[in-house]
């Protein structure tokens, strides 16, 4: 798709249909993945990985729905709930907390819980308090019935270390990445990392009260962590899922335009900032009201109808 097509859809009102088609296409792909999973009765654990702002949480939740359509009980779990907390968190070479490291996760506890659940036992549900930066038990219990499937999402999910000790034949692995399909400048498409950065700028501001300058400052460390901890294991996936939506630049522009200008004022005309500004310059904006409540974009802009 060319940017002119997107802008024309915004102008003539056909953007609603474009959005319906884009969202339906993703649902169809998730339905196909669910069908593949259900073809093998040995599969009890679906592992979903992807880099920052790839859409892991929404995809995991929606995949659970598709599995239930196939009459399989499905439970969404997050590796974030098994974070060890700042007291035990690894540090980088500069002595700073390294939140990208695989040892951020309490692997023995996670593996024990997964094996217990697959054997039909009940476990106490682990949660993580992102304000206090420490784990706790919520008082909830979790039990997976016979034939039930756990859908575990997190940046390290495809790293063999994370689920070492869980039977390999019980796993199905999914890697998520937005793969932009829109030509913005003479055949030039946004990179996957650029699409994710736009989402993260909005998400950080909406939900974490993190300003755009700080997001840009953190981004090189995030990318470095991805190169070390995520990309080497993406080839382990049984299937890749494209989480990009052809219309998302038009929805994100009203949110991110002011954020980019603030970052430019605070940090100067850094190439990363100016590139984002140029990327959005030819895009006509559209209201977020047109975005479905279960869309991946809702992870960034808010008001999702899904429970995470």
Query: Which of 184 and 47 is assigned the larger pLDDT?
Result: 47
pLDDT of amino acid 99: 87
DSSP 97: B
- Other CB atoms within 10 A of residue 252 CB: 25
Q: Which of 75-89, 185-199, 278-292 has the lowest mean pLDDT?
A: 185-199
User: Per-residue pLDDT tens for 99-128?
Assistant: 889 999 999 999 999 999 999 999 999 999
Q: How many CA atoms lie within 13 A of 259 on its CB side?
A: 25
Residue 277: what are its φ and ψ, rounded to 5°? -65, -45
Q: What is the average pLDDT across 170-180?
A: 97
Please check the confidence at residue 209 and state whether its pLDDT lies above 80.
Answer: yes
Q: What is the average pLDDT across 176-198?
A: 91
Q: Which of 72, 75, 59, 68 is nearest to 27 (CA)?
A: 59
Residues near 29 by Cβ (< 8 Å), separated by ≥ 6? 241, 242
Mean pLDDT of the chain: 94
Q: What is the average pLDDT across 22-48?
A: 97
User: Where are the chain's structural domains?
Assistant: 3-299
The neighbouring-strand residues paired with 141 are 124
Query: What pTM, to 2 d.p., does this model score?
Result: 0.93
User: Per-residue pLDDT tens for 218-266?
Assistant: 999 899 999 999 999 999 999 999 999 999 999 999 999 999 999 999 9
CATH of segment(s) 3-299: 3.40.50.300
Token pair for 57: 């949480």
Residue 178 sits at the vertex; the CA angle it makes with 172 and 181, to the nearest 5 degrees, is 130
Residue 221 sits at the vertex; the CA angle it makes with 234 and 95, to the nearest 5 degrees, is 115
Residue 2: what are its φ and ψ, rounded to 5°? -100, 155
Return the residue matching tokens 């190169």: 227
pLDDT of amino acid 187: 74
How far is residue 187's CA from residue 170's CA, in Å, rounded to a whole number? 42
The full length of the chain comes to 308
pLDDT of amino acid 127: 95
Please check the confidence at residue 130 and state whether its pLDDT lies above 90.
Answer: no
Between the alpha carbon of residue 15 and those of residues 61, 185, 293, the distances in Å are 26, 21, 16
Please check the confidence at residue 270 and state whether its pLDDT lies above 80.
Answer: yes
Q: What is the average pLDDT across 168-173?
A: 96
Residues near 263 by Cβ (< 8 Å), separated by ≥ 6? 211, 212, 213, 215, 216, 270, 273
Residue 208: what are its φ and ψ, rounded to 5°? -115, 0
């Amino acid at each position: 798709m060319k940017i002119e097509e997107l802008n024309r859809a915004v102008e003539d009102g056909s953007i609603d249909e474009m959005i319906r088609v884009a969202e339906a296409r993703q649902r169809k792909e998730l339905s196909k993945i669910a069908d593949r999973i259900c073809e093998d009765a040995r599969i009890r654990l679906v592992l979903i990985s992807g880099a920052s702002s790839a859409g892991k949480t929404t995809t995991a939740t929606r995949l659970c729905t598709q599995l239930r359509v196939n009459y399989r009980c499905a439970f969404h779990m997050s590796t974030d709930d098994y974070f060890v907390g700042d007291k035990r968190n690894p540090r980088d070479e500069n002595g700073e907390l390294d939140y990208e490291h695989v040892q951020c996760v309490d692997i023995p506890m996670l593996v024990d819980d997964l094996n217990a659940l697959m054997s039909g036992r009940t476990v106490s549900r682990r949660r993580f308090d992102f304000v206090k930066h420490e784990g706790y038990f919520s008082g909830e219990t979790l039990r997976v019935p016979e034939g039930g499937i756990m859908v575990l999402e997190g940046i390290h999910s495809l790293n063999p270390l994370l689920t070492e000790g869980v039977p390999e034949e019980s796993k199905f692995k999914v890697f998520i990445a937005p793969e932009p399909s829109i030509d913005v400048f003479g055949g030039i498409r946004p990179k996957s990392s650029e699409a994710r950065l736009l989402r993260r700028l909005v998400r950080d501001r909406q939900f974490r009260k993190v300003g755009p300058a700080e997001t840009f400052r953190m981004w090189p460390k995030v990318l470095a962590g991805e190169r070390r901890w995520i990309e080497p294991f993406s080839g382990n996936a049984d299937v890749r899922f494209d989480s990009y939506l052809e219309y998302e630049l038009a929805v994100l522009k009203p949110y991110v335009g002011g954020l980019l200008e603030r970052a430019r004022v605070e940090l100067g005309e850094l190439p990363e900032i100016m590139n984002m500004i140029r990327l959005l310059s030819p895009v006509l904006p559209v209201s977020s009201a047109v975005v479905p409540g279960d869309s991946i974009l809702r992870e960034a802009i808010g008001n999702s109808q899904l429970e995470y």
